[in-house]
Homo-oligomer: A and B are copies of this chain.
Amino acid sequence: MVSIKDVAKTAGVSPQTVSNYINNPGIVKPNTREIVARAIESLGYIPNASARRLRMRRSNTIAIGIAPVNYSRVYDRLLHALVTEADAHGIRVILYKIDSKRDEIRQFASLTAGSDVDAFVLTDTTHDDPRIGWLNEHQQTFVLFGRPWGVPDMYDVRIPWVDVDGRNGVSNMVRYLILHGRKNIGFIGWPDFSGTGMDRYLGWKETMLEARMVPESELNDLHIATEDTLNDGRRACVSLLARRPDIDAIVCVSDTIATGAVMALPSGSNVVATGFDNTMSSQSLGFSTIDQPLQACAKEIVRIIQEELGTIVAEEGDNDGKHMLLAPSIVIR
């Protein structure tokens, strides 16, 4: 087994210089780097990554939970983007299984016990998310994908997050519909007025009121809430049209619900339905939708982690750089 000392001897430098070359090449002069690199190559020296990590006390690894079944296409898209972005910065991504938020905390404990992970990426944020408290208490670095709904201060520097501005996306979709002659625009949302659902609902409500499309008293008539399945979307669409036959557009909180709604529309109907997430369904059925900028999200997540770990220095800016709300785009079909 070739050791660091063998490399130092061959290169004619000190073992410390070889160690610097491996762990912190920036502080080694270019000429010396060249000489050490050649010695490493000629001897076939392989720095053991586990050993290196022990010395560095940094794993260059981030962890993200993954559910047993892929409920959300957005999650899958984010994961692909995240690994690509992390790889560009020499960071590895490790996956841990999550069945529930409680299960996730058990995984935190196990992954941090061995200093195997530098930081966590949390998805599927909910009200009073127990994970945030645990990670802060244990001084672990993390970034949320999604906002920390329900915390007293959403811009708390100890809770960095990256999210997509769903309210803005829905608002832009409603504006587009109004500017293209639609007047009685309904909304199918989720029953749980959770953070994300409420956010998208407000995007519809505020834009409708702003444009004075209907009196505020009629808004309730145009809104219905349902679970996120095709069949529920189908039923919600039928109910909404029965209640208000004058509806000419339906903005849906998700592509799944929009797919059900599109399928429920009578053939030849002039009503348009729109979705959220730009899935294959919206492409195949040809309805308009809202697309989340997941590569940009992955970029911000990795940047924040690096800043939190001190790997890179935060740029000065108006924003504190720890709370990034990115605008989605509307996709018109």
A114: contacting residue among B50, B84, B281, B284, CB under 8 A: B50
A97 touches B83 (CB 8 A): yes
Q: From A65, which residue of chain B is reached at the shortest CB distance?
A: B83
Contact with B along A19-53 (1 / 0, CB 8 A): 00000000000000000000000000011111111
Interface check A87, CB cutoff 8 A:
yes
CB distance from A305 to the nearest CB of B (A): 16
B48 touches A115 (CB 8 A): yes
A95 touches B83 (CB 8 A): yes
A285: contacting residue among B68, B70, B256, B284, CB under 8 A: B284
Those of A76-91 within 8 Å (CB) of chain B: 76-77, 79-81, 83-84, 86-87
Contact with B along A259-301 (1 / 0, CB 8 A): 1100100010000000000011101110000000000000000
A259 touches B284 (CB 8 A): yes
Interface centre among A51, A284, A285 (most CB of B within 10 A): A284
A51 touches B54 (CB 8 A): yes
* Cα–Cα, bound, A118→B263 (Å): 48
Interface of chain A, helix or strand or loop or mixed?
Answer: helix
CB distance from A160 to the nearest CB of B (A): 22
Whether A283 contacts B230 in the complex (CB less than 8 A), given A50-B53, A97-B87, A114-B46, comes out as yes
Q: From A280, which residue of chain B is reached at the shortest CB distance?
A: B281
Q: From A259, which residue of chain B is reached at the shortest CB distance?
A: B284
Interface check A101, CB cutoff 8 A:
no
Q: From A80, which residue of chain B is reached at the shortest CB distance?
A: B70
A284 touches B283 (CB 8 A): no
* Cα–Cα, bound, A67→B97 (Å): 20
A-B contact pairs, 14 of them (CB 8 A): A46-B113, A46-B114, A48-B114, A50-B114, A50-B116, A51-B54, A69-B77, A70-B77, A70-B80, A76-B76, A79-B79, A83-B96, A280-B280, A281-B284
Contact residues of A with B, CB < 8 Å? 46-54, 59, 61, 66-70, 76-77, 79-81, 83-84, 86-87, 92-97, 113-116, 230, 256, 259-260, 263, 267, 279-281, 283-285
